[in-house]
């Protein structure tokens, strides 16, 4: 099997597994192991290294190196047994990095609870996929939260890991997931992690810089295919893409807001503290189940387009 053929089949296998199976709760997930590794390393580094920024840099290097290196050894070892085994292990590891089916399913729990009029249940399910406090959210705020998380995680949970998987296989995709996990665990601007998590937060910004912009462009291109506004996605992405504390998250959120014709952003509460965020988009349409469905279509459309572009590159441009 040639290099381009192998890459194409790996990506397609991982995508199909994700679409069919999602993230089964009974299956041990590498990200859980990464989280435990981060917790153990943090405990030791805080004890051994007095400079918090230096300790944070060491945490980043060790976590990413161990995660990517372990994946590489697993693929290599399986490949030495048999090439098919190596392919299967890498495809399975790549599957664990993709989250389209999981994001769809988790966000659907929120949407279904709202459709049933159960605000308490909707708040609970939303709390599992967002960082903000959800206990006091109204129905429109819950819809905003679920649309925002689908839009942002289209980049972080779908396009970015798929992008790195296409470039460097499962080891690079899992290294990316390790960076993502580090950011979610130590990348906070509070007293405990302001310095210790600085390296992880900045490196997460770096590895998402290109994928976030690719995601925005994919949303623009896929919006008409999803029955949404491509020109609106382009206009709002250019206008409001920087209306976010993150240098990356605002790009897909703005593209989604423009495609859907909704307004995102505004006031959120984190750990009991209100945080006012700039608004993104124009309130042409309500934030409701229709908007959520549109965001999900954008997510799948973006993933399919990126895969299509990859296949065109591999089978047209890479052929002699």
pLDDT tens string 4-32 = 888 999 999 999 999 999 888 777 889 99
pLDDT, tens digit, 9 for 90 and up, residues 26-48: 778 899 999 999 999 999 999 99
Integer Cα distance of 218 and 101 in angstroms: 18
Q: What pTM, to 2 d.p., does this model score?
A: 0.94
Could you tell me where the DSSP H helices lie in 159-261?
A: 160-186, 198-222, 230-240, 250-260
CA distances from 39 to 1, 9, 151 (A): 40, 35, 29
Provide CB contacts within 8 A for 140, sequence distance 6+.
Answer: 286, 287
In the chain, how many domains are there? 1
For residue 289, how many other CB atoms are within 10 A of its CB? 14
Do residues 187 and 201 lie in contact, with contact meaning Cβ atoms separated by under 8 Å?
yes
The tokens of 12 are what?
Answer: 């397609």
Coil vs helix vs strand at 132:
coil
Residue 275 phi, psi dihedral angles, 5° rounding? -130, 115
The pLDDT tens digits along the chain (320 residues) read 557 888 999 999 999 999 999 888 777 889 999 999 999 999 999 999 999 999 999 999 999 999 999 999 999 999 999 999 999 999 999 999 999 999 999 999 999 999 999 999 999 999 999 989 999 999 999 999 999 999 999 999 999 999 999 999 999 999 999 999 999 999 888 889 999 999 999 999 999 999 999 999 999 999 999 999 999 999 999 999 999 888 999 999 999 999 999 999 999 988 888 988 899 999 999 999 999 999 999 999 999 999 999 988 887 765 55
Which DSSP state fits 154? I
Domain that holds residue 289: 3-317
- Residue with token string 């925002």: 148
Per-residue confidence (pLDDT) for residue 301, from 0 to 100:
97
Residue 257 CB neighbours (<10 A): 34
pLDDT in tens, 186-230: 988 888 999 999 999 999 999 999 999 999 999 999 999 999 999
Q: Is 89 left (phi over 0), alpha (psi -120 to 50) or beta?
A: alpha
Which DSSP letter does residue 285 get? S
How far is residue 155's CA from residue 153's CA, in Å, rounded to a whole number? Answer: 5
Q: What does the pLDDT read at residue 131?
A: 86
Two structure tokens written together for 21: 């199976």
Within 10 Å of residue 50's Cβ, how many Cβ atoms? Answer: 8
Contact 29, 102 (CB under 8 A): no
Q: How far apart are CA 246 and CA 140, in angstroms?
A: 23
24 in Cβ contact with 95 (< 8 Å): no
Q: Which of 97, 91, 88 is nearest to 67 (CA)?
A: 97
- The residue among 122, 119, 123 whose CA lies nearest residue 135 is 123
**Torsion (CA) 82, 88, 90, 95 in degrees, nearest 10:** 180
Query: Looking at the DSSP assignment, which residues form a beta bridge with residue 273?
Result: 270
């Amino acid at each position: 099997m040639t290099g381009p053929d192998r890459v194409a089949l790996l990506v397609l296998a991982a995508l199909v597994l994700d679409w069919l199976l999602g993230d089964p709760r009974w299956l041990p997930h590498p990200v859980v192991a990464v989280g435990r590794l981060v917790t153990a390393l943090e405990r030791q580094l805080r004890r051994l290294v007095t400079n918090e920024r230096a300790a944070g840099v060491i945490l980043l290097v060790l976590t990413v190196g161990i995660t990517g290196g372990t994946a590489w050894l697993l693929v290599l070892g399986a490949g030495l047994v048999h090439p098919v085994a190596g392919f299967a292990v890498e495809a399975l590891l790549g599957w664990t990095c993709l989250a389209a089916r999981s994001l769809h399913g988790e966000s659907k729990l929120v949407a279904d609870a709202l459709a049933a009029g159960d605000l308490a249940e909707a708040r609970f399910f939303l709390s599992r996929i967002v960082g903000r406090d959800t206990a006091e959210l109204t129905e429109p705020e819950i819809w905003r939260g679920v649309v925002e998380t689908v839009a942002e995680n289209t980049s972080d949970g779908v396009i970015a890991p798929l992008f790195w998987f296409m470039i460097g296989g499962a080891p690079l995709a899992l290294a990316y997931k390790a960076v993502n996990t580090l950011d979610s665990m130590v990348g906070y601007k509070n007293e405990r992690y302001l310095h210790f998590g600085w390296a992880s937060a900045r490196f997460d910004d770096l590895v998402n810089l290109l994928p976030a912009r690719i995601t925005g462009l994919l949303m623009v291109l896929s919006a008409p295919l999803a029955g949404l506004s491509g020109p609106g996605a382009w206009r709002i992405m250019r206008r409001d893409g920087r209306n976010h504390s993150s240098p990356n998250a605002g790009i897909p959120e703005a593209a989604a807001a423009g495609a859907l014709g909704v307004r995102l952003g505004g006031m959120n509460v984190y750990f009991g503290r209100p945080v006012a965020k700039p608004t993104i988009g124009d309130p042409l349409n309500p934030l409701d189940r229709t908007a959520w469905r549109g965001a999900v279509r954008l997510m799948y459309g973006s993933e399919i387009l990126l895969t299509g572009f990859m296949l065109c590159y591999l089978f047209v441009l890479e052929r002699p």
